[in-house]
Structure formats: C-alpha cells, structure tokens
Structure 1
Amino acid sequence: MQTTFLGTRLSAAVIAALSSLTFSCAATSSGVSQQAHDIAQQTIIVDGHIDVPYRVHEKWVDVSEATEDGEFDYPRAVAGGLNAPFMSIYVPASLDNSPQSTQLAHQLIDSVEAIVARAPDKFAIAKSVADVKSQFAKGLISLPMGMENGSPLQGDMANLEAFYERGIRYITLAHSQSNHISDSSYDLRRQWKGLSPFGKTLVTEMNNIGILIDISHVSDDAFYQVIELTKTPVIASHSSLRTFTPGFERNMNDDMVKALGKNGGVIMINFGSGFVTKAARDWRDGLSKARNALIKKVGADSPELEGFEERYKEQNPYPYSTLDEVLDHVDHVVELVGVDHVGIGSDFDGVGDSLPIGLKDVSTFPNFVQGLLDRGYARKDIEKILSGNVLRVWSEVEAYAATH
C-alpha cells in the first residue's frame, strides 16, 4: 500500500507511523510553525553521523519500533522528517592494529543490514545519491553507511574495496588515537605529523573508488594534507567550530573552514554541547580534573569512585547548549564561506547526555528548521543545509570515481 503525502509517495509503514503523530504547531514542540514541519517532511534530510550500529551492538534494541532510550528510532525519525541518516560504523581506537577492528566493522554493517531486513517497508540501504532520492520518493528511510575510524582497513586496499562493496561511503580517517592512516586531533602523539605514507596513498584510492574522505577527528596537519592531495571535495561528518570552543582541536578553526570551502566540501555541525560551547567543554574538563584528583587521593580502585559523575553533576549542573548556539555555528560557516558548505552531523546516539535544549533526538529536526527560518534563511538555502550540500559533494565523488 502506498499513498502520497506532501507530494511524496509514502509506504504503508510510514502512513502507520504518521497516523500516531500530529504535525500541528503544538504537536511536538511549541513555536514550530507548520512551514517548518512542511519543509522537514518535504525535504530530504541527511544527517552525517548517527551511532545506531554501535548502540545496538552494546545493547540490542529494535529501532524499527519506538524505543525507550537513545535518540533514534523509526517513529521519531518519521516525526522529524529524517530521511537519510548515515549509520556510523564506529570501531574504537582500542582495536587499532588488530584483526578485531575489521571483524567488528563487518559485524556492525551486518547490524544495519539486519535493521533493513526486519523492516524493508521502513528502511533501505543506500549506496548512492540516486538510492537516497529514489528511496525518499518511496517513503523509505535510507541508511547510508560511513566508517568512523579507518583502522579496519589494516593497511590493505583489498579491505577498502570490500567495505565499498558492502556500502561504506565515507571513512573518518582516524578516531581518538593516531592509527596507521592519520594522526588524531585527540592524540598528543603526532607520529606521522599528519598522514602516514599509507594514508596519503589512501586519499587517492578513496577518490578513485568513490568513498568520501571524512576529516572529522584528524589533526590539523592531516586535514591540510588531505586538502592538498584530494581530487574531490571532502566532508567533516560531525564537527563544529573552534571559534566557539577555543583550544578544542577536534573542531575546525576558521582557516580550515575556508580551506574546506575552497575544496568544495561541507562541514556537518555536531550537536553535542561539548562541541558547541566553551562552557560545556570547561565543565567536562572540570569533571576530569576532579575525578583525577579523587583517584590521586583514594586510588583508582576505590569504591568512592562509584557514581562520581552523578554526584559531580548534582553539585555542578551540566551547562547544556541550546538550539540557538548550534545555529550560531551554522551562521558562522555561512559568514566565512557561504551556505553551500554547511550541513548536519548531529552525533545522535554518540554524545551521551550532552545534547542541546531543543535538539534532544531525531524528532526535533523541525525545531532546527524553525530556527533557520527565524534567522531569515530562505527555503532554498535551508534545503541545501538539510541535504543539498552533502548530496552535491557525494555526487561529485561519484562522478570522479566513474572516470577513474
């Protein structure tokens, strides 16, 4: 069974989900206009990074139905108008340089395929821009995949080809530690001073095969080396701006954003409060210092450490960022390089209890759209931010690979 809604064909599963939702101004959040809801429902929304696969790896839950925890499930995605969330195939840095990293990546891809197999009337794997667009027309939620941490490649281009065949369409070169590809922004050891020799070769091979290069997490030196080597635009799948979080290298500084703009790429704004405001970063630093001080006093095995973070939060409430502060990051990118180079990379299911007020799960994308409307963004520019920019980059990567 299919019907049309706002000009788009919807599957029976979507109709069922919509039947339990009311898209009036007061339905999901106050102050959200029908226009914002309409834009969210009528436009493809691509989120560059959602950590569902690792979430269900740690504690299985059926995201094709409503779930009690987490930030993503099918009903909430339908409510928010989310059509193409990149499923993060996240491999912890602790598994670097081990066969287990490759094994885990394949298992996480299996879990995405299982989500689709359980609910083919709701979800579909997307391996191309054409897939995303055709599945949107059918009322299906596309599940493209990106690999967070290139460790599973294990220095073998045959693994790159294997993961491409399985649907990986971007690779975040490193994660929290330097690996065999690249230095990490979080790792003080800069063993490669940017990219490794293999990493430099990998950039060319990713260009040629049609996998987007994701520069989130890498060191500044690695970023600039990627920009110099790549023949296609790159993405930052879930990064925000360092100007609002001074000293936090994980975010991009203004010069990097300008270089990304010249490259034709897109920075996809991370919603986590620690990525958005200095206050949230300072809170996390304070927590770490207080915990380390307690460990020094009582020892790492002391029972006093149990529930330490909860006690710290009670005494020092977490300074959640706000929707407006997230939008400040969008505005700043637009001021630096224009509206063609910014997108969404929420990090839902990946940043714990740190999401901003007004952006707590995937049902809240209309709030984001409303915020853009309130700031004077035209609909055509909102559509670029929601998906047009990253789909353009993905299309250019596909086109380059088709000729190489």
Structure 2
Amino acid sequence: MRQTTALLSLILLATTSCTHGSNRQEAPVSPSVTDLAERSRALAKRVIIADGHVDVPYRLVEKLGPEGEPTEDISQRTAGGDFDYPRAVEGGLDVPFMSIYIPADLQAKPGASKALADSLIDMMEKIARKSPEKFAMAHSVEEARRNTQDGKVSFALGIENGSAIEDSLENVKHFHKRGVRYITLTHSKDNQISDASFNTGKRTWNGLSPFGRQVVAEMNRVGIMVDVSHLSDDAIRQAVEVSQVPVIASHSSCRYFTPGFERNISDELIRVVAAKGGVVMINFGSGFLSQAANTYELELRKAMMAFVQERGVARDGAEVQAFVESYMREHPVPFARVEDVADHIDHVVKLVGIDHVGLGSDFDGVGPSLPIGLKDVSQYPNLFRVLLERGYSEADIEKVASGNVFRVWQRVESHATGR
C-alpha cells in the first residue's frame, strides 16, 4: 500500500464497511502567531517525538534497484515520500516506529510472510549501519532515549500484520530477538490470529482465534506490545482482556468523527484501551480524520470498481491507477487539516485523559491523503502549535509526543523481565 498506490489501497480496503481533562492548564493570553510558531519548533526539538507508525520499509522495498538495493537514500533529502533524515531533523522526529508491513495476500503462501518481515528488518538494520551518525536501532526505551541524546534518529520496529508469525509461537520470540517491539495482530483480512476491521462480512473467529490468544500471551511473556489497530471491535475487546499489560492502537483515529468506519476506534473501545493503561495513537490520513474525506474515498472506490467492471482490468493495474489519478484531478480530495488531528487528540483527552493518546501518523502509508499542515515528518511543529493554541501545556504535549507510548513500552518490558 505504499506511497504511489497508498490511497488506491485504502480505497480498496474501505469497501468494507471539545473540552479537555482536568490536568490541562488554562489557555495563555493570546500570544502572537509568530511566538507560538517559534515555541512549537523549539518544543519539537526539546521533547522526544515517537511516531507509532511510519511506512518507510515497504516504500523502499517497492522501489528496489536491479541489485536489490533501495533506489532512495533516506539518509539524504528525497524527492518523494514523507520521511527522510533531513526532514525528520527539521520536524524533531526522534523515534519513528518503522512498519514491517506484510500484505494480507501473502497469508496464502506458507513462509512468505515471515521471510518478508525478516528481509524488511534486514534492510532497516543495513540502513542504520550505513549511516551510523544519523540512524540507530532502538530495542528499548532506554536505547531510544540514548540515541536521541546522541543526535540520532532511532528505528524502532513494529510488524504490521501478525501473519508474519505464521503458525508458530516460536516466531514471536524470534521477532523479539530481531528487535520488533509491537505487532499489529492482523491487517486488511482475517488471519490465523484475529478478525480484521475491514473484513465486515462473516467473521472467521468472532474476535481472536484460540491461537491468537496464545500469541497475545506470548507477546506479553517476551516483551512485545500488542497493537490493536486494524482489528475488529470484538478482537480489540478480547485482546485487551487477554493481555496482562496495556495495549496500543499504533495508528487509529476516532470513529466519533467517521461513523461506520470500523478501522477507526469507537468511544467505547477507547475507554476499554485506556482502562488497561493503553494508548490510542492518532492516524493522520484525511479519510481517518474527517467524514468528508472518508466519504470521498468511498465514492472514489465506487467509481473505480465501475471502471474495473467496464474495462475488465485488474484492480491493482496501471490502467486503474491512471483512472484514480484522473478522478482525483477532476474531483479534488477534501483534505483534512492539522486542526482535525488536534480535534481527535482533544476527543481522546476528553474521554479518558491526557495519558492515553499519542501520534501514529501512517506517513508513507496513506499517500496523498495527508492533511494540510502535516504533509511529511518536517511538520510536527504545526500540530504542536495548534495544541499550544488550545491550551495544552508543554508537559501535556510531551506525553502525546512520546511519554505515553514510552510508558506502555516500559511497562511491557518490565512485565517480561519481571522487574
């Protein structure tokens, strides 16, 4: 699903279907826009920013050269994509969780999902080794903090789609040894672990499978965070219930703003996740943020499917991609804005407090649908500016930026080690 075809993929998946907490400070007396912009940039440099979901690995693997090496060098400024080192430094991004994305279609090929996961991890480790002054792997909160102090951008790892585990609990331990620190239990289709939110027809498991419950317990045992993004509602409830430690939703926004879009998380389930100490990390895709953009994507999908049926072409082929691009030129995307991301943060804070919300942008995973003001990793200060305008304290913003997910990560580590 990544950059060039990301919106098309989201369209294909989509078939399926404020007041803040008491810990907030009073809004300051109207500082100037310039003062707030400078303050937000300084804040982004000072606090650690951990983004729960950045799709760089699959973006790179889709563009390999003839010798199997990425054709883009993310240690330098790149012409495409949402992430590279210079822009990360500009935006203050310190700890992107690099998504080890496993397409659901690989589930039909035994061994293919695990092999792809290992190859993507290999690639990220190689990039870090090649630019040791810029990048470093982060296998713990302590390493992430130390890398930040050393002026390096950390690559934390999260597997997007538990199909990489195949049918073996031993692979949970294997991926922990490889540095994976969260696993999204499924993706766009039901797998051997869990039902998926996009698969709104007949549920395979009515939540988690028996094996999925074992997987959650094993993740708890070895120290991998359970990620409930992409899960069906019943699966989220069951994952939280089975887990002995808090869970995360690494890149999910609030369904309150997009009724009927199950990929986003409901108010009820936000409360369920928070009650266990977990964190909901807000996705920046416009279709996740506003009903107008979500409806637009559904309408685009209808038009695309009509084109596919009329022409008899493959849904993922070049003709369909050209049709989608033409449609988007003729019918401009109603982009969300950075203020909409702040609205979702506000909503979580109103429901469950400042300790249970974070950032999970989906940069390089939602393609051109990113909101105005948050088009790449250089623009986190724009979000901080809006939050400052709304009266969030710098301590509040630090929790949203990394403090909350670091707390869960440390709790999961401590549970596994018995500390």
Instruction: Give the TM-score normalised by structure 1.
Output: 0.90
Query: For 1:219-253, what per-residue CA distance to the aligned partner results, in whole angstroms no more than 9, with x for missing partners?
Result: 00100001111110000000001010110000000
CA-CA distance at 1:32 after TM superposition: 5.4
2: distance between equivalents of 1:226 and 1:303? 39
Contact 2:287 / 2:369 at 8 angstroms: preserved in 1?
A: yes
Q: Which residue of 2 aligns with 1:12?
A: none
**Which residue of 249, 262, 270 maps to 1:257?**
270
Q: 1:245 to 1:209 in 2, by over 3 A?
A: same
1:23-42 counterparts in 2 under 5 A? 33-42=37-46
Whether 2:122 is the aligned partner of 1:110: answer yes
Percent identity of paired positions between Structure 1 and Structure 2: 51
The amino acid of 2:257's aligned partner reads F
What are the residue-to-residue correspondences of 1:137-152 with 2, within 5 Å? 137-152=149-164
Cα displacement (A) at 1:138: 1.0
Q: In terms of mean alpha carbon deviation, does 292-301 or 120-129 score higher?
A: 292-301
Instruction: Establish whether residue 388 from structure 1 lines up as the match of residue 403 from structure 2.
Output: yes
Judging changes above 3 Å, is the alpha-carbon distance between structure 1 residues 165 and 303 closer, same or farther for their aligned structure 2 residues? closer
Give the secondary-structure state (helix, strand or coil) at the position aligned to 1:169: strand
Secondary structure at the counterpart of residue 131 of structure 1? helix
Q: How far is the alpha carbon of 1:31 from its aligned partner?
A: 7.9
Separation of aligned partners in 2, 1:108 and 1:233: 27
1:119 corresponds to which residue? Answer: 131
User: Which SS does the other structure have where 1:394 is aligned?
Assistant: helix
Which of residues 221, 235, 240 in structure 2 aligns to 1:208?
221
1:217 aligned partner, one-letter code: H
The amino acid of 2:98's aligned partner reads M
Query: How far did 1:294 drift?
Result: 2.8
Deviations 1:108-128 (A, max 9, x none): 001110110110011110000
Matched with 1:20 is none
Which runs of no fewer than 5 residues in structure 1 stay unpaired? Answer: 1-28
When structure 1 is superposed on structure 2, of 66-75 and 284-293 the one drifting more is 284-293
The amino acid across from 1:288 in the alignment is R
Paired residue for 1:154? 166
Among 226, 235, 252, which residue is 1:222 paired with? Answer: 235
Q: Report the secondary structure of 2:113's partner residue.
A: helix
Specify which of 208, 211, 218 is matched with residue 195 of structure 1.
208
When residues 189 and 108 of structure 1 are mapped into structure 2, their CA distance, relative to the original with a 3 A threshold, is farther
> 2:55 matched to 1:51?
yes
CA deviation vs aligned residue, 1:134-171 (integer Å, no higher than 9, x gap): 11111111111000000111121111111100100000
> Any idea what the Cα deviations from partners look like across 1:45-65, whole Å, max 9, x if unmatched?
000000111111111211011
How big is each residue's C-alpha offset from its partner over 1:365-398, in whole Å with a ceiling of 9 and x where there is no partner?
Answer: 1111111101100011000000000000101111
Partners of 2:351 and 2:338 in 1: CA distance: 20
Gap runs ≥5 in structure 2: 1-32, 64-69
Equivalent pair of 2:41/2:381 in contact (CA under 8 Å) = yes
Distance verdict in 2 for CA 1:305–1:144, change over 3 Å: closer
- Corresponding residue for residue 4 of structure 1: none
The TM-score normalised by the length of structure 2 is 0.87
Q: Distance in 2 between matches of 1:277 and 1:338?
A: 22
Cα distance per residue 1:11-50 (max 9 Å; x no partner)? xxxxxxxxxxxxxxxxxx9785221111100110000000
Please report how far the alpha carbon of residue 293 of structure 1 lies from its aligned counterpart in structure 2 after TM superposition: 2.1
Q: Which amino acid in 2 is paired with 1:383?
A: E
- Structure 1: which amino acid aligns with 2:101? Y
Tell whether 2:342 aligns with 1:338: no
3-state secondary structure, aligned to 1:353: helix
Task: After TM superposition, give the deviation of residue 313 of structure 1 in Å.
Answer: 1.3
CA distance in 2, matches of 1:115, 1:95: 25
Deviation at 1:402, TM superposition (A): 0.9
Question: How far is 1:261 from its partner?
Answer: 1.1
Q: Is the 8 A contact 2:37 2:382 kept in 1?
A: no
How far apart in 2 are the matches of 1:38 and 1:304?
A: 46
Q: Which has the higher contact order (CA 8 A, sep 6+)?
A: 2
